Structure 1
Amino acid sequence: MFVGIVAGVFPPLQSAFNGQLRVEVNSILLSTFISFFVGAILLALILLSTTKTIKIPTLDQNGQRLPWWLYIGGLFGILIVGGNIIVIKELGSVLTTTLFIFGQLMMAVSIDSLGLFGITKRKIARNQIVALSVIVLALFFI
């Protein structure tokens, strides 16, 4: 839980930095590219310094071919970063982050309740529905 909280500190920072980068370079696409390019270079350096190689696996631990959709997480990253770059200047950090969290929760509920993408299917509890309703109400106040 602590790691989740710490990781949660970074999306608003990323949105603020990338939103200002958009203003400075006057381009949503270029600021999104720069964000990913810097991240990819840093990650490649860390990976090379720790594992000495970058190998993209195509088979799982049992020798079965990995599903194609496992490789498209970067596409979602582009949509997340690009979307935040588009809205943060107009909506501000609090509303952007709240909407971001709401979108995450709605998708998380869908994934859990339907058991999508290999995630164990879980029934959505009444308290979770109440919590999501409170978040929707909070959006109106924000």
Structure 2
Amino acid sequence: MVKIWFVLIAFLGGILGGIQAPVNSQLGKKIGSLEASFVSFFIGTLFLLLLTTFFGKGNLMQLPHVPKWQLVGGFLGACFVTFVIMAVPKIGVALTIISLIIGQMIVSMVIDHFGLFGSAKIALNYQRLLGVVMMLVALVFIYRGTVVVK
């Protein structure tokens, strides 16, 4: 039963990401894509600084001792946000989000299958593969149904 709470938290994260995409895209139209990414991460950094200061229970002093590959997340997140900011004005929010989710699903199933980055090994099977195929079908329908109205 505990797992359902994490599914709901992830679902909420998806909702927030779906809202973040057009908000950042509009900011990008006003100040530029890279600049919007910078502002987004700067405000996020300030927010996390406050949360860490008042609620953090970890130990930032261990940072110099972590494997260097574990520090790439910020770079990947910055690329992710920048790509979304660039895509939304050109193809819309729905097509951007389904495309990035499919990309995430494909790479995450490879990571699960091989247990990469310390994750649990979860074998690729026909149900998981069928799920991605169905998402690709959804992508085709969303792509075909995308008509920009101005």
- Tell me the TM-score normalized by structure 1: 0.89
**What code does the residue aligned with 1:50 have?**
F
Q: Structure 1's 56 and 86: CA in aligned 2 closer, same or farther, altered over 3 A?
A: farther
Q: 1:48 aligns with which of 39, 53, 60?
A: 53
RMSD: 1.8
Aligned counterparts of 2:23 and 2:73: Cα–Cα separation in 1: 22
* Partner of residue 111, structure 1: 111
* Partner of residue 85, structure 2: 85
* Partner of residue 131, structure 2: 131
Cα deviation, 1:25-55, whole Å, max 9, x if unaligned, reads 1x11100000000000111012112249972
Secondary structure of the residue that 1:124 maps to in structure 2?
A: coil
Aligned counterparts of 1:2 and 1:10: Cα–Cα separation in 2: 12
Within-5 A mapping of 1:54-65: 55-58=60-63, 65=65
Aligned counterparts of 1:120 and 1:55: Cα–Cα separation in 2: 25
**What code does the residue aligned with 1:107 have?**
V
* Partner of residue 27, structure 2: 21
Within-5 A mapping of 1:58-73: 58=63, 65-73=65-73
Deviates more, 1:46-55 or 1:105-114: 46-55
* Partner of residue 2, structure 1: 8
Q: Alignment length, in residue pairs?
A: 136
* CA deviation after TM superposition for structure 1 residue 66, in Å: 2.2
* Partner of residue 35, structure 1: 40
**What code does the residue aligned with 2:12 have?**
V
Aligned counterparts of 1:3 and 1:52: Cα–Cα separation in 2: 20
* Partner of residue 140, structure 1: 140
Runs of 5+ in structure 1 lacking a partner? 60-64
* CA deviation after TM superposition for structure 1 residue 56, in Å: 4.2
Secondary structure of the residue that 1:123 maps to in structure 2?
A: coil
* Partner of residue 62, structure 1: none
Are the counterparts in 2 of residues 47 and 54 from structure 1 also a CA contact under 8 Å? no
Secondary structure of the residue that 2:124 maps to in structure 1?
A: coil
- Tell me the TM-score normalized by structure 2: 0.84
Aligned counterparts of 2:107 and 2:56: Cα–Cα separation in 1: 33
| Bigger proportion of residues as helix | 2
